[in-house]
Amino acid sequence: MKVVTVLGARPQFIKAAALSRAIKSDTAFEEVIVHTGQHYDDNMSDIFFDQMGIPRPHFNLAVKSSRHGQMTGQMLEAVEAVILDEKPDVVLVYGDTNSTLAGALAARKLHIKVAHVEAGLRSFNMRMPEEVNRILTDRISDYLFCPSQDAVNNLVREGFRNYPCVIHDVGDIMKDVALYYRDKAVKPDVSLPGSFVLATLHRAENTNDKSRLIELWNTFDEISRIVPVVIPLHPRTRAMVTDLTAGRGNANFIVIDPVGYLQMVYLVQHCDLVITDSGGLQKEAYYFKKYCLTIREETEWTELVGRGYNMLVGSNASKIFGALHKFRSNPSKGFDDDLYGDGKTASRILAALKA
Ligand code: UD1
Ligand code: UDP
């Protein structure tokens, strides 16, 4: 079976580390990897292929991130050309980025089957570009690989049982990755305090609105006066905070460049807790048994909130400090590990494709 995998953003490379490895070791499959070029800095792209042994993309479409319509349109045209040449049996896409939608749409219009890994997630916030991408991608997919029962339930509620597609609860492919790399962590090349909060920030809803961004940046600065804050900063956000004064000259507000996945595992393993708006990092906090404050109004990973491992705090400083105090003053009662499968998601996906 010939699979064309379309990817382009950091979390998709990390997911491919598990699935492309499984595909490579199964003689029933041949994989052609198409990198759209959405993420292009070395530390947002190449570093993952290098350190995680992901097969080099056969095609790099070099469509750098730009306005949504422009970027998605350029990817659509370029992916279509690859599919016409390669004639795959299935096109595989991950998650909810513009690369995901472009890959799925190009395939569907050519009557090629679409497999969506991380199907069924919903934030119910249609202002998020990711929510639009995931709903549209789900609707035109043939294989819906869901990470959780909640994701399956979302699809059933939306009537997907009436569509010609198959829905599988396969678990979270990022759990495969976390379990595989948990003993391979590498300390980042920076001086780290003994105790710190790990933070990341990149969502459009937090970075496009300058007053919200300033509020969050000031809050990180204030938190770092209680416990140091380490922030591997997404380039999108780096560009937005250059003129902000908060944190300047504060040695405990530690802003670093994006790091590789092995360094990120080290940071998650060694931090006190996580503050983030990242989807992937919310789950990694859970996999490495760390509490997480999510600086959003909603999350797709509702189970983590339900179990008390994750708190939705938005951008409100008093909510953030309340949650920080609660988690720091109540040492972990112990994390279970039964959510999002058992780390064998890749083999379940391949079995379903072969069936
Ligand atoms: C994208 C995804 C988001 C995902 C995130 C993962 C969409 C709509 N959004 O958001 O769902 O959570 O990736 O990280 O697909 N930039 C660079 N170098 C890079 C990459 C980006 O400088 O290698 C800067 C550019 O200024 C770019 C900006 O970041 O314009 C935003 O990049 P883009 O890919 O559009 O969105 P992300 O915020 O990365
Ligand atoms: N990550 C990384 N280096 C960093 C920041 C994040 O390797 O400097 C990893 C993180 O551990 C997780 C993934 O990138 O596996 C999450 O990607 P991101 O937050 O960019 O996107 P999202 O998951 O929100 O779509």
Question: What is the tens place of the pLDDT at every residue in 234-263?
Answer: 999 999 999 998 888 899 999 999 999 999
| HSE, side-chain direction, 13 A CA sphere, residue 108 | 21
Q: In 3-state terms, what secondary structure has residue 5?
A: strand
- The string of DSSP letters for 277-334 reads --HHHHHHHHHTT--EEE-SS--S-HHHHHTTSEEE-TT-HHHHHHHHHHHHHS----
State residue 133's pLDDT score.
98
Ligand 2 neighbourhood includes 224 CB (under 6 angstroms): no
Which ligand has the minimum distance to the alpha carbon of residue 265?
2
What confidence tens digit (pLDDT) does each residue in 8-27 have? 999 999 999 999 999 999 99
Q: Which of 275, 264, 216, 276 is nearest to 240 (CA)?
A: 216
Which ligand has the minimum distance to the alpha carbon of residue 277?
2
Collect all residues with Cβ–Cβ distance below 8 Å to 288 and sequence separation of at least 6.
178, 182, 265, 268, 269
Q: Which of 3, 4, 6, 2 is nearest to 94 (CA)?
A: 6
Please indicate whether residue 202 is annotated as part of the active site. Answer: yes
The partner residues of 33 in beta bridges, in order of sequence, read 5
In the predicted model, what is the mean pLDDT of residues 312-321?
96
State residue 28's pLDDT score.
97
What confidence tens digit (pLDDT) does each residue in 328-343 have? 887 667 899 999 999 9
State residue 328's pLDDT score.
87
CA of 299 to the centre of ligand 1 (A): 19
Residue 280 CA: which ligand 1 atom is closest? 12
Best probe residue, ligand 1, of 6, 10, 39, 75 (max atoms within 8 Å of C-beta): 39
Ligand 2 neighbourhood includes 128 CB (under 6 angstroms): no
Which ligand has the minimum distance to the alpha carbon of residue 130?
1
In the predicted model, what is the mean pLDDT of residues 218-227?
96
CA of 64 to the centre of ligand 1 (A): 9
- Residue pair 341/179 in contact by the 8 Å Cβ criterion: no
- Residue pair 340/148 in contact by the 8 Å Cβ criterion: yes
State residue 169's pLDDT score.
98
Average pLDDT, the chain: 96
What confidence tens digit (pLDDT) does each residue in 99-138 have? 999 999 999 999 999 999 999 999 999 999 999 999 999 9
